[in-house]
Amino acid sequence: MSDIDARQIERMKSLLASQQDAFARDRHRPLNERKADLEAVQTLTAAHAGEIADAIASDYGVRSKAETQLGEIGFVLASAKHALKNLDKWAKPQKASVPMTLAPGKAYVRREPKGVAGIVSPWNYPYQLAIAPLIAALAAGCRAMIKPSEYTPATAELMQRLLGERFSEDQVAVVTGGPSVGEAFTALPFDHLFYTGSTHVGRIVAKAAAENLTPVTLELGGKSPAIVTESYETKDLMKPLAWGKFFNAGQTCVAPDYVLVPNRRVEEIGEALIATVSDFYPDLSSDDDYTAIVSQKHYDRLSGMIEEARAAGARILQPEHDAEAARAARKIPPTVILNLPEDSPLMQEEIFGPVLPVLGYELLSGAIDFVNGRDRPLALYVFSKEKSQSRRVLEQTMSGGASVNATMLHLSVEDMPFGGVGKSGYGAYHGERGFLEFTHERSVFEAPVWHPSRLIAPPYGKMFDFIAGLQKR
């Protein structure tokens, strides 16, 4: 471990202690203060949108400004706005009905902040995936420490500075560093741990959290399929499929990982995708709308997988491009792969880049079986003009979330939970579900000074028989 990491680890321990002390002094942050916190996140995001976009672009080399606006700035603003609008309703005690045998009395659930939350975020949407969980934590009245990814250091430093200008460190703090800092961070006894990243590291984080019995949210990845049914025409498919796949150059947790299409349309759909991306990015190596791969390590991994597929006999389709210039910009052209052997690494792990295998199926049941033969994905997409077919796909598969005749859009509806299932994670957030993730639901029963329950005490006699009789009704 480096000296810097060792210093970060010491610092995070003292930050946690100060946040815990502050929470113990002030357990119930009033709603007007929480709203001011949310407004502050809104204001600093809007006021520094340009700087945030520049920081992300410098981390990536090239990051589409439009996609940063949609996927980071706009997303965070919408999330804060939704929380501000609904916080009064979410935070209200929830009334419960009192059974006759316990009357008279009042039963309700108090929604209380859990305490100090730890948030670990990845590099692919480095602002959104740190700040959206923070919004949920602040709405719930928690304090929070954030550990962003080491692959996006400029964004991490900017978040540290911007949040530091508005929040005291005993309320919100950012600690920076790589896996060893992450490991020490997730070993801290937080009251809730919110992790976004790979399934591999998610498993390690869940074990670390278990040591402290810290409840954990795991927002993980996986191979999200798109299924195209016979009724859906290629011309209608192109924009939503290519947009969802090549947004952020495929470095999106809910990007379609592979697409299943009727056998006879594999070639047609593959070729049409290449024509579509040629229109999207006329000169992709110099086009700022097409994002680079975040690091050389990730670039080499993706290039290696494409070459392995080629060597195994797959057909690789790419739009015309200047290969030298693309490599220099660390860009991998949108790549469509046909005739890919099932045991290829591209079909074994989440691709997480601009590479889309197009696989053929004979019957829709075969496509459904193919999806069900793999881990439960974070997202699933079905394209069909017949409602009965899209319903059939939804009913016969399982995924964290899904969009019909679209990609990624379910994620942007703040009012719906967003999270995985099985290997794509557990727990969820966005909207009220996010608020609840950082909330302890404390059930309270309030009895009047004298309550009939006192009549039931040993030695049990006639009154017990009477109450037991009521219970049987």
Q: Is 130 near ligand NAD (CB under 6 A)?
A: no
Largest CA distance in the chain: 91
Segment contacting ligand NAD by CB under 6 A, of 130-138, 179-187, 278-286, 384-392: 179-187
149 touching ligand NAD, by CB under 6 A? yes
Cβ–Cβ < 8 Å for 358, 205: no
Q: Find the binder of ligand NAD among 5, 26, 150, 283 (CB under 6 A).
A: 150
Question: Torsions phi, psi of 254, nearest 5?
Answer: -105, 15
Binding residue (CB under 6 A) for ligand NAD from 90, 352, 381, 438: 352
How far apart (Å, rounded) are the C-alpha atoms in residues 370 and 381? Answer: 14
Nearer residue to ligand NAD within complex by CB, 159 or 378: 378
Which residues are registered as beta bridge partners of 181? none
Which of 6, 31, 78, 204 touches ligand NAD by CB under 6 A? 204
Minimum distance of ligand NAD from residue 353's CB (angstroms): 11
Q: Rounded to 5, what percent of the chain is helix, strand, coil?
A: 50, 15, 35
Asked if residue 153 binds ligand NAD (CB under 6 A), the reply is no
The answer to whether 427 contacts ligand NAD (rule: CB under 6 A) is: no
Our answer to whether residue 142 is catalytic in this structure is: no
308 token code pair:
């392995």
Using CB under 6 A as the binding rule, whether residue 182 contacts ligand NAD is answered as yes
Number of residues that bind ligand NAD (CB under 6 A): 30
**With respect to ligand NAD, which residue has the nearer C-beta, 269 or 402?**
402
- When the beta carbons of 148 and 319 are compared against ligand NAD, the nearer one is 148
Q: Does 201 bind ligand NAD (CB under 6 A)?
A: yes
| Nearest residue (CB) to ligand NAD, 54 versus 150 | 150
Distance of CA 234 to the CA centre of its chain: 30
CB 117 within 8 A of CB 139: no
Whether 332 and 293 have beta carbons less than 8 Å apart is answered as yes
- Rounded CA separation 118/172 (Å): 10
Least distance (Å) from ligand NAD to the CB of residue 182?
2
Amino acid at 396: Q
* Residue 416 vs residues 350, 409, 428: alpha-carbon distances, Å: 25, 11, 9
- Four-residue CA torsion sign, 65, 71, 72, 73: positive
* CB of 403 vs ligand NAD, minimal distance in Å: 15
Strands 315-317 and 335-338, by their bridges, are: antiparallel
Nearest-angstrom CA–CA distance, 163 and 310: 47
- Residue among 120 and 241 whose Cβ is closer to ligand NAD: 120
x/- letters, 82..121, toward ligand NAD (CB under 6 A): --------------------------------------xx
Question: Which one of residues 71, 197, 333, 401 is an interface residue with ligand NAD (CB under 6 A)?
Answer: 197
Q: How far is the CB of 423 from ligand NAD (least distance, A)?
A: 10
Q: Given 67, 72, 219, 414, which residue is catalytic? A: 219
- Residue 26 near residue 115 (C-beta atoms within 8 A): no
| Binding residue (CB under 6 A) for ligand NAD from 170, 350, 432, 437 | 350
Of 72, 253, 432, 437, which is the active-site residue?
A: 253
Beta 192-196 vs 106-113: how paired, if at all?
A: unpaired
59: closest CA among 353, 335, 330? 330
User: In which residue are the tokens 């935070």 written?
Assistant: 91
Tell me whether residue 48 or residue 423 sits nearer to ligand NAD (CB atom): 423
Among 124, 171, 276, 335, binds ligand NAD (CB under 6 A): 124
Q: Is the bond leading into 459 cis (omega within 30 degrees of zero)?
A: yes
Q: Does 270 sit near ligand NAD (CB under 6 A)?
A: no
Separate counts of helices (H) and strands (E) for the chain = 17, 16
Q: Which of residues 440-469 bind ligand NAD (CB under 6 A)?
A: none
Dist. CA 251–CA 244, nearest whole Å: 10
Residues 220-259 close enough to bind ligand NAD by CB under 6 A:
220-221, 253
Choose the binding region for ligand NAD from 76-84, 148-156, 367-375, 389-397 (rule: CB under 6 A). Answer: 148-156
Report the residue number, 262 or 377, with the smaller CB distance to ligand NAD.
377
The pattern of x and - marking residues 368 through 387 that bind ligand NAD according to CB under 6 A reads: ----------x---------
Rounded Cα gap, residues 11 and 22, in angstroms: 16
Q: Work out which of 50, 179, 341, 461 binds ligand NAD, going by CB under 6 A.
A: 179
Q: Which of 88, 144, 139 is nearest to 115 (CA)?
A: 144
| Of 98, 97, 104, 158, nearest in space to 126 by CA | 158
Q: Mapping DSSP to helix (H, G, I), strand (E, B) and coil, where does residue 112 land?
A: strand
Q: Tell me the sheet residues that pair with 147.
A: 120
* 71 or 334: CB nearest ligand NAD: 71
Catalytic site positions: 219, 253
- Residue ranges binding ligand NAD (CB under 6 A): 120-124, 129, 147-150, 178-179, 182-183, 186, 196-198, 201, 204-205, 219-221, 253, 350, 352, 378, 420, 425
